[in-house]
């Protein structure tokens, strides 16, 4: 049960987030959560949105959907994954899956079977990047030494999807996403807010959302991020979430370093991490 007298509103909200994450399969009403936080429904709803960035309803939906995706990735039967994630009925899950995954739960479980992913590669100041996207958002954005290497990684992630190069002329939305990422890495567009279509556990979602709040040109330690998401003892888990980030720079895991100031690891190379941080600091306004 959530403690009834936390010291501050942000701490109350963080405790509620942890409660939701561990009880997402239960009925969670706004009244119940507000009562646990010792707040009025109105004040709780406003405070939750201010602290977390989404409404309580959206946060619960995200947690449940993360559990659903994890169950599907573990090859659970679709119905079992649906009910284990806290959905009372499968009737609306397929509709939500199409809007949030770009595919039905069964398609997701089968490695994206029946889903179309477009990709494009671009040269950036810090190396070659390949971007893959469904019509719902960016699903893949990674650095590498060659397009062949990166395309192999994309195909491994979505082994049964229809993966094709960006068409000519390109789809306007996808072209805009690619251009935004290119401008961001070049330092011409500090703020990046693009739709994502990626897998995430509940914890990863918390970490990745928080990373997107770290200002352009700034860095934080793993311990600071852990405290920021309300889990001060989870610095190592934060590092693991950063290491599993599938969308470089869109989720800016390069902005997280060790408390000593050491850059620590980066799945796309320490030198690239250093270059990204240096470029952001040089272009920060």
Domain identity same for 99 and 17: yes
pLDDT > 60? residue 81: no
Nearest one of 235, 221, 199, 203 to 17, comparing CA atoms: 203
**Three-state DSSP class for residue 139:** strand
Q: Last residue of some domain: 81, 109, 137? A: 109
> Which CATH number goes with the domain that contains 138?
3.30.160.70
Nearest one of 49, 68, 81, 62 to 20, comparing CA atoms: 62
Identify the band that residue 285 occupies on the pLDDT scale cut at 50, 70 and 90: low
**Three-state DSSP class for residue 116:** strand
195 occurs within a structural domain: no
- pTM, 2 dp: 0.63
pLDDT > 70? residue 67: no
Domain count, the chain: 3
3 occurs within a structural domain: no
Range with the lowest mean pLDDT among 1-5, 17-21, 208-212? 1-5
Structural domain that includes position 165:
116-186
- 261 touches 112 (CB < 8 A): no
Q: Last residue of some domain: 186, 214, 241? A: 186
Identify the band that residue 70 occupies on the pLDDT scale cut at 50, 70 and 90: low
How much is the average pLDDT of 16-38?
87
Q: Strand 116-124 vs strand 127-134: parallel, antiparallel, or unpaired?
A: antiparallel
pLDDT > 80? residue 237: yes
Q: Last residue of some domain: 56, 80, 109? A: 109
State the CB neighbour count (10 A cutoff) for residue 282: 9
Domain identity same for 103 and 41: yes
Question: CA-CA distance, 272 to 221, in Å (whole number)?
Answer: 18
> Which CATH number goes with the domain that contains 272?
1.10.10.10
Q: Exposure of 250 by Cβ count < 10 A (0-12 exposed, 13-18 middle, 19+ buried)?
A: buried
Q: What is the pLDDT of residue 83?
A: 47
Domain identity same for 22 and 92: yes
120 occurs within a structural domain: yes
Nearest one of 263, 60, 147 to 48, comparing CA atoms: 60
- 189 touches 183 (CB < 8 A): yes
4 occurs within a structural domain: no
| pLDDT tens column, 141-192 | 999 999 999 999 999 888 888 899 987 776 778 889 999 999 999 988 888 8
Catalytic residue among 72, 81, 178, 253: 253
Return the half-sphere exposure (C-beta side, CA atoms, 13 A cut-off) of residue 71.
20
Tokens 């980030």 map to which residue?
245
Residue 163 CA: distances (Å) to CA of 68, 102, 115, 281: 24, 14, 8, 36
Question: CA-CA distance, 254 to 182, in Å (whole number)?
Answer: 16
In the chain, at which residue ranges do the beta strands (DSSP E only) sit? Answer: 116-124, 127-134, 137-144, 162-165, 220-221, 256-257
Residue 253 known to be catalytic: yes
- List, in sequence order, every residue forming a beta bridge with 221; answer none if it has no partner: 257
Domain identity same for 39 and 21: yes
Domain identity same for 29 and 66: yes
The torsion angles phi and psi of 198, rounded to 5 degrees, stand at: -135, 160
196 occurs within a structural domain: no
Domain identity same for 102 and 13: yes
Mean pLDDT (the chain) is 81
Report which DSSP code applies to 196.
B
């Amino acid at each position: 049960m959530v403690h009834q007298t936390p010291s501050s509103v942000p701490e109350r909200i963080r405790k509620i987030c942890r409660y939701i994450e561990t009880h997402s399969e239960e009925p969670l009403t706004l009244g119940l959560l507000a009562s646990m936080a010792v707040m009025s429904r109105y004040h709780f709803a406003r405070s939750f949105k201010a602290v977390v960035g989404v409404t309580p309803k959206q946060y619960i939906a995200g947690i449940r959907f993360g559990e659903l995706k994890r169950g599907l990735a573990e090859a659970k039967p679709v119905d079992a994954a649906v009910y284990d994630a806290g959905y009372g009925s499968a009737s609306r899950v397929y509709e939500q899956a199409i809007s949030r995954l770009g595919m039905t739960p069964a398609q997701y479980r089968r490695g994206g079977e029946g889903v179309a992913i477009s990709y494009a590669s671009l040269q950036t100041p810090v190396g070659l990047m390949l971007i893959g996207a469904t019509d719902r958002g960016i699903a893949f954005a990674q650095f590498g030494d060659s397009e062949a290497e990166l395309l192999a990684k994309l195909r491994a992630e979505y082994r049964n999807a229809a993966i094709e190069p960006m068409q000519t002329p390109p789809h306007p939305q996808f072209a805009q996403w690619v251009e935004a990422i290119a401008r961001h890495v070049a330092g011409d567009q500090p703020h990046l807010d693009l739709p994502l279509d990626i897998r995430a556990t509940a914890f990863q979602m918390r970490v990745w959302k928080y990373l997107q709040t770290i200002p352009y040109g700034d860095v934080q330690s793993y311990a600071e991020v852990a405290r920021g998401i309300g889990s001060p003892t989870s610095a190592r888990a934060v590092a693991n979430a950063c290491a599993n980030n599938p969308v470089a720079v869109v989720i800016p895991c390069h902005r997280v370093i060790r408390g000593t100031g050491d850059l620590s690891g980066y799945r796309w190379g320490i030198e690239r991490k250093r270059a990204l941080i240096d470029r952001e600091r040089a272009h920060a306004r």
